């Protein structure tokens, strides 16, 4: 199982292949398409991430001390963003998630190329994912 940092480094390497943001956005959209689909039964209002302009559903569960996320969005770029976050943070311990430094976002230039609304939505995703993980650390 890859660590959070190993997954981030893979993403940085993958994005470095592209010379422009057209290619990077296409890759981001494709990444969203590869996201394991959230079960329809979790597409509930209580699973919507607050602060996202588009609809983003996030579900989390704990299996053998590992947090597993699933997500979906009704917008292709946002689905790619949540796909990246699920890829990096899923299948990790709650402590690793809570303490993670998500440096890949700056390294691939994502912050500079997102609209303010999408950037706020990304921060909301990260906050919610870390809050769920923190909840699991309290339960243990």
Active site residues: 52
Q: How far apart are the first and last CA of the chain?
A: 22
Half-sphere exposure of 64 (CA within 13 A, CB side): 1
Q: What are phi and psi for residue 91, nearest 5 degrees?
A: 65, 35
Residues 81, 35: contact at Cβ < 8 Å?
Answer: no
Tell me the C-alpha distance between 57 and 21, whole Å: 26
| Region for residue 51 given its phi and psi (left: phi exceeds 0; alpha: psi -120 to 50; beta: otherwise) | left
């Amino acid at each position: 199982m890859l660590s959070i940092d190993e997954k981030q480094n893979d993403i940085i390497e993958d994005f470095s292949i592209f010379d422009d943001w057209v290619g990077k956005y296409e890759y981001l959209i494709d990444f969203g398409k590869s996201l394991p689909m959230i079960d329809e039964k979790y597409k509930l209002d209580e699973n919507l991430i607050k602060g996202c302009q588009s609809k983003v559903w996030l579900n989390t569960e704990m299996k053998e001390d590992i947090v597993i996320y699933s997500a979906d969005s009704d917008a292709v770029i946002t689905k790619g963003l949540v796909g990246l976050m699920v890829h990096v943070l899923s299948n990790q311990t709650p402590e690793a998630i809570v303490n993670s430094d998500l440096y890949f976002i700056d390294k691939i230039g994502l912050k500079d190329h997102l609209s303010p609304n999408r950037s706020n939505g990304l921060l909301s995703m990260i906050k919610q994912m870390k809050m769920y993980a923190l909840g699991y650390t309290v339960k243990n």
